[in-house]
């Protein structure tokens, strides 16, 4: 976790602030740049998924969708509106 936070901090996406009441606690705050980036994450993820699935035929994509739902539905990782299809 520390390495990942170091990288995000080095990229200027977050800052760490020690809690005054308990110096053992560190609060993570998004920077202005981090907040702007967070607004783009859904679009970036959608573009990446489209790139990954582009080689699939329509039938292969449907099968991938079916299998992912079968694996993810019992875990509760799918939002309610995506679980039933």
Spatial distance between the Cα atoms of 13 and 5, rounded to a whole number of angstroms: 9
Its pTM stands at: 0.59
**Partners of 16 in the beta sheet?**
28
- Residue 48: pLDDT above 70? yes
pLDDT digits (tens, 9 = 90+) for 19-29: 999 989 999 99
Q: Are 47 and 76 in the same domain?
A: yes
Q: Which among 39, 41, 9 has a CA at the least distance from the CA of 26?
A: 9
Q: Are 34 and 52 in the same domain?
A: no
Q: Supply the pLDDT for residue 9.
A: 97
Q: Which domain covers residue 58, as residue numbers?
A: 41-83
Q: Are 71 and 57 in the same domain?
A: yes
Q: CA angle, 76 as apex, 73 and 79 as ends, to 5°?
A: 85
Domains contained in the chain, number: 2
Q: Are 54 and 21 in the same domain?
A: no
């Amino acid at each position: 976790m520390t390495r990942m936070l170091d990288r995000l901090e080095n990229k200027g996406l977050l800052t760490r602030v020690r809690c005054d009441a308990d110096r053992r606690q560190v609060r993570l705050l998004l920077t202005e740049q981090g907040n702007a980036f967070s607004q783009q994450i859904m679009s970036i993820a959608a573009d990446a998924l489209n790139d990954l699935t582009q080689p699939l035929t329509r039938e292969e994509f449907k099968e991938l969708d079916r299998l992912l739902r079968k694996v993810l539905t019992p875990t509760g990782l799918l939002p309610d509106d995506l679980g039933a299809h």
